[in-house]
Amino acid sequence: MSKILNLARDFNSQSKKQANAIEQTLKQDFERHEQRIQDALKASEQKITNDIQDQQSRLNLLVMKTWIWLPIMVITVLIACWGVIWWQGMTIAQNQQEISRQQSTLKALSAKGGNIQMSTCGDQNQLCIKIDLDETSYGANGVYPWKIPEGY
């Protein structure tokens, strides 16, 4: 019986050794597997983080482009408004100069007899002026008699 007992003990110790060896091998394999999984997760995390940062950069660039256009448009509108105001100012100044020239022309004409009254006469609407019949006529008889218009 001692042989059987020894065999049983040897079998038991070999089984324990084998179990320990298998356990150690499995433990090492699981640790390597766990390490590979952690490495894969870290790589995936890094890729996702990089993709998020890239997307954020693109969005920031897009937002910046939008915000850059706003001041450009405001400046463009302000320049256009300034141009319109400048053009209107120049037009108004030119019109004032023209009005001044016309007023001085009217004063000169008034000084030379600008109170003459004109109208259209007859069926053919010919130009005619009001004549002062009390004034003296000038010119030889039969040659275009000249008279001084009324209001001169």
pLDDT in tens, 8-30: 888 888 888 998 999 999 999 99
Question: Please, are residues 111 and 127 in contact by the beta-carbon 8 Å criterion?
Answer: no
The continuous run of DSSP H or E covering 94 comes out as helix 2-111
Residues 148 and 97 in one domain: no
117 contact partners, CB below 8 Å, separation of at least 6: 129, 130, 149, 150, 151
Please state, in angstroms and rounded to a whole number, the distance separating the CA atoms of residues 68 and 71: 6
pTM: 0.45
For 51-65, write each residue's pLDDT tens digit.
999 999 999 988 888
Per the structure, the complete domain to which residue 130 belongs is given by 114-152
For 71-128, write each residue's pLDDT tens digit.
999 999 999 999 999 999 999 999 999 999 999 998 888 787 667 777 787 787 777 7
Question: Please, are residues 146 and 137 in contact by the beta-carbon 8 Å criterion?
Answer: yes
Residues 128 and 79 in one domain: no
Residues 43 and 98 in one domain: yes
Residues 99 and 142 in one domain: no
Give me the number of domains the chain comprises: 2
Residue that wins the pLDDT comparison between 145 and 71: 71
Residues 118 and 77 in one domain: no
The pLDDT, as a whole number, for residue 1 is 66
Closest CA to 65 of 75, 55, 57: 57
Residues 108 and 118 in one domain: no
Grouping H, G, I as helix, E, B as strand and the rest as coil, residue 136 is coil
Residues 95 and 71 in one domain: yes
Residues 87 and 44 in one domain: yes
Residues 10 and 42 in one domain: yes
Residue identified by tokens 């006469």 is: 121
Please state, in angstroms and rounded to a whole number, the distance separating the CA atoms of residues 18 and 56: 55
CA distance readout (Å), 56 to 91, 94, 142: 52, 57, 104
Residues 98 and 121 in one domain: no
